[in-house]
Amino acid sequence: MALSEQERKLLEQLEASLMADDPKLHDTLSGSSSIRVHRRRATLAGLGFIAGVVVLLVGVQIHPAISIAGFVLMLVGALVGINSWQRVGDDSDQPARPRFTAPSGGPAQTSQDFMDKLEERWRRRQQGDL
């Protein structure tokens, strides 16, 4: 259902007043602030990765130092791209994918449980209850 001319003007006025009152809220609701920056950065990192592959292959033909520079360019492109892409996922309104967590509260808790078991075994051996 299309809006009438009066409703469109009213909506535009509401949007303008929202942007004037709170620009951060407007950027958050429109999703234009950091998501766009991280997407652009991820795209440029992907292009850098592809350029690194090309430099690596050309370097094999010309000189090994050029190949090393291509590999470094690929590595930097991959790291920046992965980091930026994760931030795009974190900033979006979609629920983040579940990440792996260690059982029973994390790695610190797991290592503490392991140490407790070792200490208990040591005490039993010292007491001769083995």
Closest CA to 71 of 53, 95, 93: 53
**Model pLDDT for residues 62-81, shown as the tens digit of each residue:** 998 999 999 999 999 999 88
Q: Is the pTM of this model over 0.75?
A: no
Q: Look at residue 32 and tell me whether its pLDDT is greater than 80.
A: no
What pLDDT sits at residue 96? 45
Phi, psi angles (nearest 5°) of residue 106? 115, 175
The domain locations on the chain are 24-92
Residue 90 · residue 99 · CB < 8 Å: no
Phi, psi angles (nearest 5°) of residue 91? -80, -20
Mapped onto helix, strand or coil, the DSSP state of residue 118 is helix
